[in-house]
Amino acid sequence: MVATSSGCLLRPNPNSSARLRLVFFPHAGGGVSAFAGWHKTLPPDVEVGYVQLAGRDGRRRERPASDFRALIDELADTLSWNVGIPVAFFGLSMGGLVSFELAREFRRRALPLPVHLFICAHRAPQLRVLNAGERPLHLLPDDEFIGELERRYGATPDFSQNRELVELLLPLLRADLAVCESYVYRTEKPLACSISAFGGADDRRVRTQHLEPWHIHTTGTFDLREFPGGHFFARNDPLPLLQVLNRELDRLLGLATC
C-alpha cells in the first residue's frame, strides 16, 4: 500500500479493514523516524498513523509551533479520525504530554476520545516543574543547551559528532522545548480511557515516582512498566517495549469486538 498524508497525519499503510488505529506522537526535535519500522511489528488489524509536527518530515517548510496551547488547537483542528474504529495514542517524551492534552481537548470539543493512552518517558503533567536552580532549556546558549540536555536526559540519539547536523537539529529542538516549557497544567476530571505509563529504569529525569501519578488521570485501568535503559530506551532498544505494546493492542482489539 502507498503511504498517505493528510495535514499533520501520515499513514504509511492505509488499511480499510483495520479495527484499531494507533497514532504516534514524537519526542522533542523528533519526527516519524523516531518510530522507524514499528508499524511492521504490530498486529495486522492495527493501522498506524504518525503525527507530523511543523518543521519536520512532510512539513519541513512550515514554522514550528511556539506555544503549547497553539499546538494543541492546531492538532485538534486538523486531525480527523475514522469514527468507525477505535483510536489509541502513543506519545514519546514530549509526545506523551501532547497526546494527553489532545485527548483532553477532544473531550472539550465532544469528539470521540482515544480508547487508550500509551505515555512513554514523560512524567505526570502535574509534576512538570523545573528542579531548583534549573533554567528553561530553550533559553540557554547552544553549548550550554547541548550540555544541559545531555545532563538531564543522557545522550540524544539524533545528535552526532557531525556539527552541521547538530546545527540543523538545534533550532527545531529548541522550538519544541520552548513549547514544552510554555505548558501550564490545569486540573480537570480524569479521562475515561485507560493509560499505560512506560519508563526507562535508568532515566535520569523520569523515574518511577514521576510515572506512577499518571494514574489519577484515568477512570479506567492504569499500567506502569519500566524497561532497561535511560530516557531514550524506546529508540535505543524498542523490542521489549514493542512486545508489551503488541500484547496491549491485542487486548484492545479484543475489547473492540465485544
Distances from the Cα of 7 to the Cα of 21, 56, 120, angstroms? 17, 13, 24
Please give the Cα distance from 225 to 248 (Å, whole number).
12
pTM (two decimals): 0.91
Please give the Cα distance from 150 to 155 (Å, whole number).
5
Give the domain extent around 78: 4-256
pLDDT per residue over 171-217, tens digit each?
A: 888 899 999 988 999 999 999 999 999 999 999 889 999 999 999 99
Cell of 121: 518517558
Strand partners, 224: 197
Active site residue 93: yes
Quick one: pLDDT band at residue 2, thresholds 50, 70, 90?
A: very low
Quick one: pLDDT band at residue 159, thresholds 50, 70, 90?
A: low
pLDDT per residue over 17-49, tens digit each?
A: 899 999 999 999 888 889 988 988 999 999 999
DSSP state of 9: E
Which of the following is catalytic: 5, 80, 93, 196? 93
**DSSP letter for each residue of 39-64:** GGGS-TTEEEEEE--TTSGGGTTSPP
Number of Cα atoms under 13 Å in the Cβ half of residue 105:
18
Q: How many domains does the chain have?
A: 1
pLDDT, residue 11, reads 85
pLDDT, residue 221, reads 97
CATH number for position 22 = 3.40.50.1820
